[in-house]
Amino acid sequence: MEFAVFYEIQVPNPIKNPEKEFEVFHEVLAQVELAEEMGFKYFWTVEHHFQPGFAHSSAPEVIYGAVSQRTSTIRIGHGVVLLPFPYNHPVRVAERLNTLDILSKGRLEVGTGRSGTEIELGGFGIPYNETRARWEEALDVITTIWKAPDGRFSFHGKYFEIPERTIVPRQYQKPHPPLWVAATSEETHGLAGRMGLGLLSFTLLVSTEHLGRRIQAYRDGLTEAKPKGQFVNPRAAAFFMTHCAETDKQARAEAERAFLSYAQTTLRTAIKVQAPGGSGEKRYAHEQFEAADATKISLDYLVENDMCIVGSPDTCIKQIERMQSILNMDQLLCMMQFWPIPHQKTMNSIKLFGKYVIPYFSPV
């Protein structure tokens, strides 16, 4: 199993303390450099909009350019680029991805997704019930561009009508960078497999047993894969809030506020849709949130249900071993940077995790 650092890029009190935003972006760059040194193989960030404090990664492609020049081996992943237009036009996405693939010397991984918050979809005027269709057609545009041997292509669809044009630059990796997709429901996990896409299981408040069923749905889908790109990417990755310190007590004290804030904010902003039956009632689009009560979520609850990784290196190893015995992940995405956790404590977590935890699962 390989390990990744995963970022929302959280900033404490950005409205009252705007200087913190500047500091945090440069702290993130330092953390990624350290993560590469400590054995993390991947760096992923989200794309989120309109969420002060919670996620300042609204232009991740700019961050990736900087990271590509400060690192040499860590793979750089969109986790994810939002494809429903008008978040991003797929031609511009392809141009940016190809440029980054060149600058990073072929270290690009491309995760795509639909988005699932009311504040973002509403801000861009995107109907939730069209996000899958818009995502899939945009992905078709990108893969059509990548499949064109000389970059010359045209596309005719429901959302995009593109006359024959030549795209430059061309991707560096051949035939193209690996493709992934974010999944937050069992249905999408199966779809990811059938499309031959790598799985980014961004599930929060899901037990290991439940997540195991979702990953199995992905593996089952792979058996009948018809790849969207030119090859199947059969890897499954899952995301966990993660914090490591010298002792369990220290790790839990440093992480508790951060983990609970993340869970509660995610619940508050998640998209709700009309419930079936015509009652007018709205329910969470992601079923795992429906039974969740933000007021009753505690660190003990998250730990007992294997929804996070927190503790000393030995404890983190035991937690991951238990998860991995059920999940059989190819990659574990560790979210370590949170607004309540100071930079030096995040750096210490990365060091301890890299020194003790990664070698246990990925011996040289």
Can you state the angle between helices 131-147 and 90-103, rounded to 10 degrees?
Answer: 50
Task: Report residue 336 as tokens.
Answer: 């370590």
Task: Report residue 209 as tokens.
Answer: 């047993």
CA 130 vs. chain centroid, Å, equals: 21
Three-state SS across the chain?
Answer: CEEEEEECCCCCCCCCCCHHHHHHHHHHHHHHHHHHHCCCCEEEECCCCCECCCECCCCHHHHHHHHHHHCCCCEEEEEEEECCCCCCCHHHHHHHHHHHHHHCCCCEEEEEECCCEHHHHHHHCCCHHHHHHHHHHHHHHHHHHHHCCCCEEEEECCCCEEEEEECCCCCCCCCCCCEEEEECCHHHHHHHHHCCCEEEECCCCCCHHHHHHHHHHHHHHHCCCCCCCCCCCCCEEEEEEEEECCCHHHHHHHHHHHHHHHHHHHHHHECEEECCCCCCCEEECCHHHCCCCHHHCCHHHHHHCCCEEEECHHHHHHHHHHHHHHHCCCEEEEECCCCCCCHHHHHHHHHHHHHHHHHHHCCC
Structure-token match 């310190």, residue found: 245
Report how far residue 211's alpha carbon sits from residue 186's, in angstroms, rounded to the nearest whole number.
9
Report how far residue 191's alpha carbon sits from residue 222's, in angstroms, rounded to the nearest whole number.
9
For the cut 80, the answer to whether the pLDDT of residue 288 exceeds it is: no
Given this model, what pLDDT does residue 268 score? 86
Given this model, what pLDDT does residue 279 score? 58
Strands 108-113 and 331-335: unpaired
Given this model, what pLDDT does residue 306 score? 93
Q: What is the pLDDT of residues 103-150, one digit of tens each?
A: 999 999 999 999 988 999 999 999 999 999 999 999 999 999 999 999
Q: Report yes or no: 77 and 181 within 8 Å, Cβ to Cβ.
A: no
Given this model, what pLDDT does residue 277 score? 59
Q: Report yes or no: 3 and 336 within 8 Å, Cβ to Cβ.
A: no
pLDDT band at 362 (very low <50, low <70, confident <90, very high): confident
Given this model, what pLDDT does residue 286 score? 56
182 DSSP β-pair partners? 200
Report how far residue 261's alpha carbon sits from residue 268's, in angstroms, rounded to the nearest whole number.
10
For the cut 70, the answer to whether the pLDDT of residue 66 exceeds it is: yes
Q: What is the pLDDT of residues 206-221, one digit of tens each?
A: 889 999 999 999 999 9
Q: For 17-23, what is the mean pLDDT? A: 95
CA 214 vs. chain centroid, Å, equals: 16
Cβ-based neighbour number of residue 129 at 10 Å: 10
For the cut 80, the answer to whether the pLDDT of residue 311 exceeds it is: yes
**Percentage of residues in the chain having pLDDT higher than 70:** 93
Report how far residue 111's alpha carbon sits from residue 107's, in angstroms, rounded to the nearest whole number.
13
Instruction: Give CATH for domain 2-361.
Output: 3.20.20.30
Strands 152-156 and 161-166: antiparallel
pLDDT band at 204 (very low <50, low <70, confident <90, very high): confident
Given this model, what pLDDT does residue 364 score? 63
For the cut 70, the answer to whether the pLDDT of residue 290 exceeds it is: no
Closest CA to 307 of 246, 223, 240, 209: 240
User: What are the sequence ranges of the domains in the chain?
Assistant: 2-361
